[in-house]
Amino acid sequence: MKQWLQSLVLFILPVSLIFAEEEAKVEKEETYDIQTISRSFGHMVAGNIRNMSSDFDLHAVAGGIQDYLKGTPAPLDEGKCVQQISKIQEQSFKKQADANLAAAETFLTENRKKPNMVILEEGKLQYSVLQTGKGAEVVEHSKPVIRYKGTFLDGKVFGQSEEEPIELDSTVPGFSKGLIGMKEGEKRQLFIHPELAFGSSGFLPPNSLVSFEIEVVKADSPKEEPKDEPADDEAAEEAPSETNSAK
């Protein structure tokens, strides 16, 4: 009997230690530093404010938060504040769009002077061949399979993909025009004026010049045949009836 109790204790003790360790891990995972989280949250708020407009005075914003906590009335009511913010955003958007457009046109003017630069549309669309290809060519209204990487003037990447089929009729004009005539295996670097790219709409900075490094994997991808839908009477025969389901 004594030996059995000793064996039971020896078995329970390691198990208890395991559970104690697991509970300690859970408690450790649940602990947090509110100061660190609060400061990180402040970074997020500041980033969102900067994205709204670079004209905001973040020190004044912080002062407004302090005033609110003290119970001090705001200098503007909420409705007027929202109206003024909208005006600031519109002004900031126009300023950025004008600056980006000027930068795009300056770049294309200088870029066209580079050797081996091909001008597809004066002041709007240019490309250079990075690698020659062989075989079939991309034609209008096709759906080539490509690899691409899209960048801004500063080299920041905004999109890329591996072996993606692209419908030329469903993309921006500069992209589709730059692809037409490319052979399988060919690589090009496209430089597209915002008027032939995304303009001032969409999620990209307004009037951004965009550049694409493109490689054609296949000049065209097989057309997807529409699937024939079964007739109503056939569908009714295939669908299980309530009687059959009950069985």
Q: Is the pLDDT of residue 180 over 90?
A: yes
Q: What is the pLDDT of residue 38?
A: 80
Average pLDDT, the chain: 82
Position 48 scores a pLDDT of 80
For the segment 48-66, what is each residue's pLDDT rounded down to a tens digit? 887 776 678 888 888 889 8
pLDDT band at 227 (very low <50, low <70, confident <90, very high): low
pLDDT of residue 33 exceeding 90, the answer is no
pLDDT at 197 over 90: yes
Contact 193, 104 (CB under 8 A): yes
